[in-house]
Amino acid sequence: MELRSSLSRARGLGSAKEGVHHWWGQRVTAIALVPLSLWFVVSAIGLMGADLPAFQAWIGSLFNAVLMVVLVAVLFYHAWLGMQVVIEDYVHGEAAKTTSLLIVKFALAVMAVACILAVARLAIGA
Amino acid sequence: MASSQRPLSPHLQIYRPQITSVLSILHRVTGVALTAGTLLLTWWLVAAASGPGPFATVQGFLGSWFGHLLLWAFTFSLFYHLSNGIRHLLWDFGWGFELEQVRLSGIAMVAAAAGLTVITLIAAYVAAGG
Ligand code: HEM
């Protein structure tokens, strides 16, 4: 016999209401990535085969350092949101899904921090 | 409703690939590829912050034939994902949902991605050579 009321069973099973936030995050970062990634491609062309002093001179400009940090932050957040959807679509079973989400998101977060600290070190050291 | 009467999503093995479905899955493929590409970006920046030796290693790797291959692939992936991403954003504003428009914008998007990739490659080789 079921002692819990229908309402109590239904509670907590619905949407977590974070879908809209996720969707907006993906769009806002996508829009920001259009100019940022074009800037990055143009910069990367100029840095083809550069040695370290040339690279340091480039990232030593506050303009480039700021854009690089913004690019890294936006790009990793976009990839974080995007990979979440891909994993949720293809990895089945709660344990496998949660584990892959944790690994991918942790790796992306660590890389984002490493990139930002690297730029900070270069920009301040320069 | 009996489960046998529910609508099914297309069965990929027997469903003829169409320009819409192929372009759509490529957005996902390029998104995942670009995410893998962040490893290279991280290596590049961390190496630069670590000193001349590590930085020369990355630049040497990127200058090898395999490095060039990766860079071409990431360049195309980026431009594909960017052009198609703009198409996505226009759809979000409700633009271009007619089947014929979807087909045409799809062709335009692939052309733009290919064109931008070629321009970037030429610019990169000119810059590296000059
Ligand atoms: C260059 C500008 C970019 C634009 C305009 C853009 C746009 C978009 C849009 C609109 C979506 C959502 C697609 C959907 O709703 O199905 C998306 C998904 C995604 N993006 Fe990007 N993106 C850009 C760059 C990047 C970069 C640099 C990365 C990787 C580091 C990336 C990784 C992803 C991933 C993994 C997804 C999820 C794919 C999926 O769900 O099928 N994007 N992008």
Q: Give B97-129 as a 3 state SS string.
A: CCHHHHHHHHHHHHHHHHHHHHHHHHHHHHHHH
10-residue averages of pLDDT along chain B (130 residues) = 68 82 96 98 98 96 96 98 97 92 95 97 86
Question: CB distance A37–B82 less than 8 Å?
Answer: yes
Is residue B55 domain-resident? yes
Neighbours of B33 (CB within 10 A): 17
Is residue B74 domain-resident? yes
Using one digit for the tens of pLDDT, what is the confidence trace for A15-50?
778 899 999 999 999 999 999 999 999 999 999 889
Q: What is the mean pLDDT of residues A48-63?
A: 94
- Of B38, B45, B113, which Cα lies nearest the Cα of B70? B38
User: CA-nearest residue of chain A to B54?
Assistant: A52
The label of the residue with tokens 């892959």 reads A100
The number of domains in chain B is 1
Is residue B117 domain-resident? yes
Q: What is the mean pLDDT of residues A4-24?
A: 83
The label of the residue with tokens 């069973």 reads A9
Is residue B14 domain-resident? no
CATH of domain A15-124: 1.20.1300.10
Q: Which residues form the domain of B91?
A: 19-127
Question: CB distance A49–B75 less than 8 Å?
Answer: no
Is residue B2 domain-resident? no
pLDDT at B127: 87
Residue with the nearest Cα to atom 37 of ligand 1? A82
Instruction: Sort out which chain A residues have CB atoms less than 8 A from B42's CB and list them.
Output: 111, 114-115
Amino acid at A80: W
Is residue B23 domain-resident? yes
pLDDT at A23: 95
Q: Is B39 on the interface with A (CB under 8 A)?
A: yes
B34: CATH: 1.20.1300.10
Using one digit for the tens of pLDDT, what is the confidence trace for A62-118?
999 999 999 999 999 999 999 999 999 999 999 999 999 999 999 999 999 999 999
Q: Is B63 on the interface with A (CB under 8 A)?
A: yes
C-alpha angle with apex B20: B15 to B21, nearest 5 degrees? Answer: 45
Q: Kindly indicate the confidence band of residue A125, based on its pLDDT and cuts at 50, 70 and 90.
A: confident
Region of A15 on the Ramachandran plot (φ > 0 left; ψ -120 to 50 alpha; else beta): beta
- Cα–ligand 1 centroid distance for B2 (angstroms): 38
User: CA-nearest residue of chain A to B121?
Assistant: A45
pLDDT at A58: 96
Q: What is the pTM of this model?
A: 0.90
Is residue B12 domain-resident? no
